[in-house]
Amino acid sequence: MSKKQMKGIVLAGGTATRLFPLTATTSKQLLPVYDRQMVFYPLNVLVKAGIKDILVIVAPEHSGQFLNLLGSIFKNHGIHLYFEVQKVPRGLADAFIQGESFIDDGNVAMILGDNIFEDDLTSHIKNFSSGGVIFAKQVPDPERFGVVDFDAQGKALSIEEKPEKPKSNFCVTGAYIYDNRVVEIAKNLEPSIRGEIEITSINQKYLEMGELKVNTITGEWLDAGTYDSLLAAGNIVRDKEIYKNFDPLIDQAISEFNAELKAIAKKKLL
């Protein structure tokens, strides 16, 4: 059986009210983290893994800004970016319903647009065959996240969304790999109390089927959703030189884009 194509999704919608007024004029994922916009970090995870087709899901009020930055940046590099406007945020799991025709009969790796990973996830994405794969990280405040409970052998027993009494201090990070059954699973989810269809419900479904693999990561995992975490993310990226871990293709594309913008700016001055 031939291996199915792996598609990529970057979820970059939402309103990011915790970052007002910074996000009153632009998307959170377009804010800078050290020397480039935040969205390039999740894009890098997918590009490094050899994914050529990537869907970027954006909010309507910022769709033009994403197009201005990303619309043609990879046109000479064999990476095809597609854009989908999410009018109403309905939860992370909605990305798979929005991206149904894009995913088609392929598998999919989704990264949240505000997540930065120091660990290289390439091998996990490239070696994926079926089921679901997620990544857990030890944190001091697990009650803020989806929490994974493991048995003595490191096998996942349960996943709970923002529990009052976490069974462990391992939380689910914003990188997910699924086979294409994820679309039908997402379509059949009941909304949570928050009125959203939760990614935790998808993970629980794969866990019930005995097809969820949970990998633990040890490097930095940054969720740049507050002033402090955004500032910390930039400092950590600089100090730990995470900005040097980019695929050369992305660095080249950004360099070309910058040169083009500078040339246009000079012509306007003449």
- Model confidence over 127-164: pLDDT tens digits? 999 999 999 999 999 998 999 998 888 789 999 988 99
N- to C-terminal Cα separation, the chain: 60
Could you list the beta-strand ranges (E) of 179-264: 212-216, 221-223
- Model confidence over 190-205: pLDDT tens digits? 998 888 999 999 999 9
Mean pLDDT of the chain: 94
Measured distance CA(196)–CA(89) in Å, rounded: 8
Measured distance CA(11)–CA(58) in Å, rounded: 7
Please indicate whether residue 107 or residue 268 has the higher confidence score (pLDDT): 107
CATH architecture of 6-130+173-269: Alpha-Beta Complex (3.90)
All structural domains of the chain with their residue ranges: 6-130+173-269
Give the closest residue to 103 by CA, choosing from 180, 181, 217, 4: 180
